[in-house]
Amino acid sequence: MATSSLSSLGPDNNEIHPLVALKRRIAALEEENADLRLIKNQSSESNAYYGRPIRRLVCLTERVEDLVAEFNRRIGLGADNESDADKMDSDDPERYRSFKKLMVWCPSARKLLRSSAEHDVLAFAYNKLNEGSDGARGDDSASLKCAVADWLMERTPTPNPTIHRQDKSGRGFYNDVTGGLLCPGSFLTCAITNLCLQSVRASIRDYHPDFRITACSWPSFLYEDGRYDPQNPTNGLFKGKLLIKAFKRVFTSPTSTYEEQPADSAARSVRNKNSGERRTRRDVSTLLNMRSIQPRAIAYVSVQLRFALSSAGSWRIVDDEFNHQEFYDNIVDYLELPPSPEATKDVDDLLLWWNQKVFGRKFVSDYRPQHANKMSVAMTLARRR
């Protein structure tokens, strides 16, 4: 009976048969119920795993529930949807920008936001996402702590005193090598002789008010060859070799840190086949589906490298007078909010440079897509119309 009734509906019939509508509603409710069961029954490990992109690509310290609360606040003020919320002014635009990144890079959070789960279920899931995000940051800190020591000890001449892999107490401004990398480039520019350089180091260690180490100055490790140009302070900024190595260590692989130019996937496959190597583990960028360099990833690695070079034994937002959150925000704003077309072009060129350094030609269609409408085929077709 039901089959014949349904089949009698013609293609031009604009009314939805009650039985069809009912079946659709049941299917939608079953799907939503399955999602809710999945959220509630997911293991702690699974929830934690899905939170791992958050520190790397979304924000440095914010909690998931606080980012979602900013979106909900805008909805409460009259926004009907996410598009309306985007247009609203806010006293905390940085937090909402982070919320937008959360929706892009953390599908689990997006699914939770759109579900009708109870508050306690959401609170539990958000907490597990936070645990996963902090766990990823801890793993990256531990990895870079050892890697940075290895990289610096490979230098010629070998640093003296030795930079130990596990013990960070001798790093920071207690060591001339790590201290030089942490020192603001502007301080080093003023020190034109060894005697001046020693005076600068002594002033920093003595906490002289004219040589305070804060997030108001870019550390020299951010600059290409550590050189700061007071006449052009953006020259070489975010092109430090150690910064590139740290980025590759976190997002691609430990072996890629020793590649000057990234090997393309075909060449890597041939090399692995010839050597008998079988790779089954995917790198972090692949797991996150990050096919182009993200400004917040650069900011995150900059913070991680700064922490690895410091003498701080455990993670903290403020190290003496240096605020890692402020440092992170300064980099994000520089890369995401250029104030002019010229500055926008400079950032685009910088990100292209980064993509070529890290990914090579692997994802070129993603990080520099062609403008097909401006190319010869499109221009020729337009001419014929």
Per the confidence metrics, is the pTM higher than 0.85?
Answer: no
Alpha helix ranges (H) inside 225-375: 241-251, 265-275, 284-287, 295-309, 324-336, 341-358, 364-367
What are the distances in angstroms from CA 251 to CA 56, 146, 246? 9, 16, 9
Label residue 135 exposed, middle or buried (CB < 10 Å: 0-12, 13-18, 19+). Answer: middle
List of E strands, the chain: 318-319, 322-323
Backbone angles phi, psi at 366, to 5 degrees: -90, -45
- Predicted confidence at residue 375, as pLDDT, reads 80
- Select the more confidently predicted residue: 39 or 106: 106
Cα 251 to Cα 245: distance, rounded to the nearest angstrom: 10
pLDDT single digits (tens) 52-104: 999 999 999 999 999 999 999 888 888 888 888 888 877 779 999 999 999 99
pLDDT single digits (tens) 226-272: 999 999 999 999 999 999 999 999 999 898 888 776 655 444 444 44
pLDDT single digits (tens) 125-135: 999 999 999 99
- Predicted confidence at residue 89, as pLDDT, reads 77
Cα 315 to Cα 175: distance, rounded to the nearest angstrom: 20
DSSP string over 89-109? --S-HHHHHHHHHHHHH-HHH
pLDDT single digits (tens) 5-19: 444 444 444 555 677
pLDDT category of residue 193 using cuts at 50, 70 and 90: low
Average pLDDT, the chain: 84
